Amino acid sequence: MFKAIKSFPETRLRRLRTNDWSRRMVRQNSLTVNDLVYPIFVTEDQNETKIDSMPGIERIPEKRMLKEIDEIERLGIPAVAIFPVISEEKKTALGEEAFNSNGLIPRMVRKIKEADFNVGIITDVALDPYTSHGQDGILEDNGTIDNDGTLEVLTKQALSHADAGADVVAPSDMMDGRIGAIRKELEKKGFKKTKILAYSAKYASSFYGPFRDAVGSKNSLAGGSKEQYQMDPGNSDEAISEVFLDIQEGADMVMIKPGTPYLDIIYRVKQEFQIPTFAYQVSGEYAMLKGAIDRGWLSRAAIYESLIAFKRSGADGILTYFAKEIAQDLS
Ligand code: PBG
């Protein structure tokens, strides 16, 4: 490739940068509304809607969900990922509310599906919004997370979502074997079209802070960490193993999370597997950008730049709290 480039002055790379049209004409990557997935926090009515660490994002009361999805559809955003804010009194050590077939998420999914929007519904399969200790798994007596015991609960949870009509279930807890367990159960129960978006390489990250404020799992977690199951930020080969296993186990799409600090992982995964690959620009990334933009320290153009970086790295889609805002810009 480099043999084709002559030296200066035959080659002046600035020539093509001269005009708006020529810059657009040779641009390699683009961002469209089809690349976006919008995460939504839904709350059982009595909760506070404002999230201090995520200005511009609200917990959407159950009653307002259809209006919200209608807006998403109008903007042309292909899918939403919904996360529940569960009332404190429903949280238990074993997180049973997670598979209540009449719980908040199945209720919401049914309502949305009845209204027949052209918007994909992705549900989060993990226990942390439902456990009194805020961990994504159930605990053994010594306080470690019981991997295989957790799989049984996750499987029931995924089934309750699929049964309500969820288009995509997205296991986000990093237990070993969860994709296989869920895929097997979905097939067995006849949910052949339910897609699995695996949070395959999810790092033990400080960038989830505002999300934990939003769903109220921070207090439950009480300083506890998730390093026993989420990945170590120092590792990259392990991400390849995680993605490999999830594909073997039946994932349709994989995800890397957080996004910006892990662009190298997105790049490697896409190069290695050529499977639909998503990035999650998480709550802390949103808070950083939004906080600086609101103070005038960064211009709004930083949002687009942060998102096109994902496309450049190879991501096919991006979960971002900026989805609505950027969809408006793009239209
Ligand atoms: C938990 C879950 C988390 C996020 C999505 N699902 C947080 C965590 O692992 O504690 C984070 C998303 C964000 O920060 O925007 N299963």
- Judged against a pLDDT cut of 80, whether residue 331 lies above it is answered with yes
Please state the rounded mean pLDDT for residues 32-44.
97
- Judged against a pLDDT cut of 80, whether residue 3 lies above it is answered with no
pLDDT tens track for 164-206: 999 999 999 999 999 999 999 999 999 999 999 999 999 999 9
Which DSSP category does 92 fall into?
A: B
- Judged against a pLDDT cut of 70, whether residue 56 lies above it is answered with yes
Mutate to test the pocket of ligand 1, among 38, 154, 172, 285 (most ligand atoms within 8 A of CB): 172
- The reported pTM is 0.97
User: What is the rounded distance in angstroms from the CA atom of residue 231 to the CA atom of residue 135?
Assistant: 15
Q: Please tell me the predicted confidence (pLDDT) of residue 6.
A: 84
Which DSSP category does 166 fall into?
A: -
Q: In the chain, what percentage of residues exceed pLDDT 70?
A: 98
- Judged against a pLDDT cut of 70, whether residue 132 lies above it is answered with yes
Please state the rounded mean pLDDT for residues 274-297.
98
Any ligand 1 atom below 6 A from CB of 285? no
Q: Please tell me the predicted confidence (pLDDT) of residue 1.
A: 59
Q: Please tell me the predicted confidence (pLDDT) of residue 219.
A: 80
- Give the chain's count of helices (H) and strands (E): 12, 9
User: What is the rounded distance in angstroms from the CA atom of residue 121 to the CA atom of residue 79?
Assistant: 6
Task: Give start and end residues of each alpha helix (H) in 165-228.
Answer: 178-188, 209-215, 217-221
The rounded Å distance from CA 74 to ligand 1 centre is 27
Q: In the chain, what percentage of residues exceed pLDDT 90?
A: 92
**Which atom from ligand 1 is nearest to the alpha carbon of 126?**
16
| Domains of the chain and any CATH numbers | 32-330 (3.20.20.70)
Q: Please tell me the predicted confidence (pLDDT) of residue 55.
A: 97
User: What is the rounded distance in angstroms from the CA atom of residue 304 to the CA atom of residue 61?
Assistant: 29
- Judged against a pLDDT cut of 90, whether residue 45 lies above it is answered with no
pLDDT tens track for 63-83: 999 999 999 999 999 999 999
pLDDT tens track for 217-243: 888 888 889 999 999 999 999 999 999
Q: How far is CA 51 from the centre of its chain?
A: 18
Secondary structure of residue 143 in the 3-state scheme: coil
Determine which one of 257, 270, 311, 324 is catalytic: 257
User: What is the rounded distance in angstroms from the CA atom of residue 245 to the CA atom of residue 151?
Assistant: 16
> What does pLDDT average to over the chain?
96
Nearest CA-CA partner of 176 in 193, 154, 158, 159? 154
Please state the rounded mean pLDDT for residues 297-314.
98
Any ligand 1 atom below 6 A from CB of 173? yes
User: What is the rounded distance in angstroms from the CA atom of residue 325 to the CA atom of residue 320?
Assistant: 10
